[in-house]
Amino acid sequence: MAMAMNVSSLCFCVQSNRRFVNRVRAVASEEFTASKMKEDKVKLGGSDLEVTRLGIGAWSWGDTSYWNNFEWDDRKMKAAKAAFDTSVDCGITFFDTAEVYGSRFAFGAINSETLLGRFVKERKVKDPEVEIAVATKYAALPWRLGRQSVLNALKDSLNRLELSSVELYQLHWPGIWGNEGYIDGLGDAVEKGLVKAVGVSNYSESRLRDAYERLKKRGIPLASNQVNYSLIYRAPEENGVKAACDELGVTLIAYSPIAQGVLTGKYTPENPPTGPRGRIYTPEFLTKLQPLLNRIKEIGENYSKTNTQVVLNWLVAQENVVPIPGAKNAEQAEEFAGALGWRLNSEEIDELRSLALEIKPVVGFPVEKLSDNCWQKRAFVGRLIGKRCMLSIESLFPCGIQLEFPSTRGIRISNFVSVLVMMSLSYVGRAFEWFAEVQYRCRVPCVSGCHWHLPIDRKMLVGICGYPSYDLLVYCICLGVRTLPYML
């Protein structure tokens, strides 16, 4: 009996010790995770805002013009929600959206800000302690003037997000005019407590410096500049933007870090991407890309990592860079998280750069290349040319668009100014949906000298400049093409 009691006591002690060890391990694991999360956060520029080293772009959420095969349904909604939740579960808590993401202005689909706000709200109910950093952007539309327009747009975004403030508010692109007022509006937003930090997007080196100095006078740091940056599109390194960011202590947020999926390796010359991406990343381009993709795969196998994780890690290794790939489902979000927690060695980083140098980058809609001289020295002027009713707008940079429709009328517009000018027609766009049934073709002389044609109809209102544009922009371009010759 005594022996039985001793054995029982021994078993109880062993079990108790095991439970204690398991509790210690659990606590240690939680502490390690928390420590790792803290380690994997970086400050945005000189601001106090800390975000994860990798964020998630929400451009595709609700979009029906470039992504999602031009359709948005409950299945895609659930996939986006799963992408959000999985990202947070994996420790990625920085999300970037914009007021023009999704289809708020056209065709009745839902806006990205609305979706993100809903996801954040639902997650907060489940986990009140979770800290999620939300970034959104102000569209510098030509009719928006002055600092108050920034505050008004921000308040509208906050309403859609159902938040009292956001962590980061950015100017989406430089305006045609009034940029000083926009910068002042950012400063006002900080002082009113509506945002924790402010940044810009698609800003050239000189514009970046101007914005930095203007905010500095008010004691407000410029936190970030969001630009197109990937292994195969390294314009920020060549045009001085990356160097200026490093010098000024401004974080570079990299959008399209996996080149809209092309660097994942899922696309081949025989199986190119569909939709508008197929007109940017052609079979010819993908053929030239294969040696680089093969080497990326080989390097990834050494680390048990995918192509996606390798190219994202390459960007993180450039320092002062926060990539924001777009996640459309849980699998993508989980894969993106695997880009952190390890590092390519210097030889591999240099080798990938050398291989990428052999590939001529695809230029679609390079708003980040707009120079100050282009803005100051070239004005857009409209004029009629005889019976053809041709509206000509002087290009801000030598990259124009030639649109032709069944009649003899045509319109030549600049890649950037025309988009902004014709966006002013968006608010009456719904009354002119008939234009969407009209087939016409678009001939685009790209910077690279390439040309492509794109038929557009109601199911295919996509970025005719070859850039991942929003349905709002394209909708207005199409509308402007149909109506401007008659309005003049």
Which residues are annotated as catalytic?
101
d(CA 230, CA 289): 14
Amino acid at 27: V
d(CA 98, CA 180): 21
| Residue 326 half-sphere exposure toward CB, CA atoms < 13 A | 21
From residue 462, give the alpha-carbon distance in Å to each of 27, 63, 100, 175, 476.
51, 11, 14, 22, 11
Closest CA relative to residue 409, chosen from 436, 429, 391: 391
d(CA 299, CA 282): 25
d(CA 344, CA 350): 10
d(CA 454, CA 275): 10
d(CA 101, CA 112): 5
Residues 450-454: contacts with CB within 8 Å, 24+ apart? 452/279, 454/276, 454/279
User: Encoding tokens for residue 332?
Assistant: 């993508």
